Chains A and B, each alone.
Chain A
Amino acid sequence: MSTLRAAWHIAVKDIAIEWRTKTAFASGLVFAVLVLAVLFFSRDPTEVSSLAIAPGALWVTFTFAAMLGLNRAFLLEREMRAMDGILLTPAPRAAIFWGKFGANLAFVGAIEAISLPLFVLFYNVPIWPRLTELLLVIAMATVAFVAVGTLLSAMVVRTRYAELMLPLLLLPFLVPPLVGGVQLTASLLDGRHLSDISGWLKLIGAFDVASVTLAAVLFQVVLDE
């Protein structure tokens, strides 16, 4: 079985399980809405406009919601030692990473796709003129979140404190895409041209390449029995 095919099957399996219950998706989404709403009140409305905190609110929401989803990816495989079952199939090891990566990308992307319009609604942000650029930035940062997160969640699931360990290990590594995402979003909402802020774009792009490569390679080490 080719790696790509096997990866596709693993991703489809994860998405199908999620599709039947929608538990993680629903809770991730409600969580995202809650964070967006709570952060709205984290300012003095007479002094700071909602637009000023909007980029930060958006990215904090994305980060927290992604973390919830990433934790789920391997907790799923812990039940009844399902991971051993996957390891026993003839699927190449690399396929497990790419399959999980794909499913996580779909999960986090779906939560972001629904939170973004809510963000526009809540914060009254004029994103439409810069929508394509903003979507590009979100996609780039999400790839980094999911790459590092998939690798780390495969590790923390082996500990008793998976829910606690993932944010602890993940957040320091997410500083580049998170800060870059906030800066780029702020500049875009400010009406600045992308060429003014190409430094941040290059940084996230390079981080994407480094983190995806690293995660794919190191994932084999994590699976080693």
Chain B
Amino acid sequence: MTLRDRATRIARAGTVVTAVALLGVAGVYVRALAFTPVEVAQGEAQKIFYIHVPAAWAGLMAFFITGLLSILYLWLKDQRIDIAAAASAEVGVAFSVVILTTGPIWGKPIWGAWWTWDARLTFTLFTFLLFVGYLVLRGVLTDPGIRGRFSAVIGIMALVLVPFVHLTVYLFRTQHPAPIVLKPSRPSLPSEMLITLLTSVGVFTVLYVGFLMLRYALGLLREAREQELANDS
């Protein structure tokens, strides 16, 4: 099977997974709007929580996987791992855009400001910018070997140093709502809300996988094209 055939097959599977996940997102929203109680203090604005939190989960997972794949790439030197790492970073950047847009939409009615320099906002912004830098660097490097190694270096640096960025903005100050699900005591959320949220987290995880497959397939196709061009010349 050629590289091109494999890429096409992955792209087809990715399209199915993405379609299922998008249906799931629609389903989550039907449930969130019609069958989940309205929060007393925040009212309807709280509904955005069912996109915002799962997107944050998917985005962080994407960046974390980029970091792990970067280590794996330096070990095995397989170009497909580099393509997968870049695909994950790209999807992570897309989810970060969702976090950074839904956050202010919620923040305006609740905090009274579109943007505050709260710890989590600031952290998300810096992580987002860091991975935009990662993608820009990939864009300006043409040699696949160098591109792979340099991207892996940035991916590993992000994996190790981003926790420090988190600590920094946390020490600075925070006014973001404290965690209500992932905390030592039991989640303080009515079960209907918790079920909606957890469903949404699951759906966004599937969405991540779907996007990742599509971008990975595209990366393989690009690679196949580069090989063909090299063979022609």
Listed stretches B80-88, B95-103, B136-144, B190-198; interface member: B136-144
Question: Bound state CA distance, A176 and B129, in angstroms?
Answer: 15
Interface presence of A191 (CB below 8 A): no
Interface presence of B53 (CB below 8 A): no
Q: Which of B134, B157, B165 contacts A176 (CB 8 A)?
A: B165
Do residues A175 and B171 form an inter-chain contact, with CB atoms below 8 A?
no
30 contacts between A and B (CB under 8 A): A148-B157, A148-B161, A155-B150, A158-B150, A159-B137, A165-B137, A165-B140, A168-B133, A169-B133, A169-B134, A169-B137, A172-B127, A172-B129, A172-B165, A173-B130, A176-B165, A176-B167, A176-B168, A179-B168, A179-B169, A179-B172, A203-B164, A203-B168, A207-B164, A210-B164, A211-B161, A218-B153, A221-B149, A222-B149, A224-B149
Interface presence of A117 (CB below 8 A): no
Do residues A203 and B167 form an inter-chain contact, with CB atoms below 8 A?
yes
Smallest CB–CB gap between A64 and chain B, Å? 17
Scan residues 25-44 of chain A and give those whose CB is less than 8 A from a CB of chain B: none
Point out residues on A near B: beta carbons under 8 Å. 148, 151, 155-156, 158-161, 165, 168-169, 171-173, 175-176, 179-180, 183, 199-200, 203, 206-207, 210-211, 214, 218, 221-222, 224
Interface of B is mostly: helix
Question: Bound state CA distance, A155 and B148, in angstroms?
Answer: 12
Smallest CB–CB gap between A168 and chain B, Å? 5
Chain A residues positioned under 8 Å from B136 (CB to CB): 165, 168
Interface presence of B146 (CB below 8 A): yes
> Interface residues of B, CB < 8 Å — how many?
28
Interface of A is mostly: helix
Point out residues on B near A: beta carbons under 8 Å. 74, 126-127, 129-130, 133-134, 136-137, 140-141, 146, 149-150, 152-154, 156-157, 160-161, 164-165, 167-169, 171-172
Do residues B168 and A214 form an inter-chain contact, with CB atoms below 8 A?
no
Q: Which residue of B lies closest to A197 (CB)?
A: B171
Chain B residues positioned under 8 Å from A180 (CB to CB): 168
Smallest CB–CB gap between B158 and chain A, Å? 8
Chain B residues positioned under 8 Å from A224 (CB to CB): 149
Do residues B149 and A175 form an inter-chain contact, with CB atoms below 8 A?
no
Do residues B161 and A173 form an inter-chain contact, with CB atoms below 8 A?
yes
Q: Which of A156, A161, A175 contacts B165 (CB 8 A)?
A: A175
Q: Which residue of A lies closest to B123 (CB)?
A: A175
Looking at A159, A199, A222, A224, the one whose CB has the most chain B CB atoms below 10 A away is A159
Do residues A176 and B164 form an inter-chain contact, with CB atoms below 8 A?
yes
If A165-B140, A172-B129 touch, whether A221 touches B152 (CB-CB below 8 Å) is yes
15 more CB-based (< 8 A) A-B contacts, given A165-B133, A179-B168: A151-B153, A155-B150, A158-B141, A165-B136, A165-B137, A169-B133, A172-B130, A173-B130, A173-B157, A173-B165, A175-B126, A175-B164, A176-B161, A210-B161, A211-B161
Do residues B153 and A175 form an inter-chain contact, with CB atoms below 8 A?
no
Question: Bound state CA distance, A199 and B168, in angstroms?
Answer: 10
Question: Bound state CA distance, A175 and B164, in angstroms?
Answer: 9
Q: Which of A158, A173, A203 contacts B146 (CB 8 A)?
A: A158
Chain A residues positioned under 8 Å from B129 (CB to CB): 171-172
Question: Bound state CA distance, A158 and B103, in angstroms?
Answer: 38
Question: Bound state CA distance, A183 and B170, in angstroms?
Answer: 13
Question: Bound state CA distance, A183 and B126, in angstroms?
Answer: 18
Question: Bound state CA distance, A183 and B130, in angstroms?
Answer: 23
Do residues A210 and B141 form an inter-chain contact, with CB atoms below 8 A?
no
Do residues B160 and A210 form an inter-chain contact, with CB atoms below 8 A?
yes
If A168-B136, A172-B129 touch, whether A159 touches B141 (CB-CB below 8 Å) is yes
Q: Which of A169, A183, A203, A207 contacts B154 (CB 8 A)?
A: A169
Question: Bound state CA distance, A160 and B146, in angstroms?
Answer: 14
Q: Which residue of A lies closest to B128 (CB)?
A: A172
Chain B residues positioned under 8 Å from A165 (CB to CB): 133, 136-137, 140
If A221-B149, A222-B150 touch, whether A175 touches B140 (CB-CB below 8 Å) is no
Do residues B157 and A203 form an inter-chain contact, with CB atoms below 8 A?
no
Question: Bound state CA distance, A221 and B148, in angstroms?
Answer: 11
> Nearest 4 pairs between A and B by C-beta?
A172-B130, A176-B164, A159-B140, A176-B168
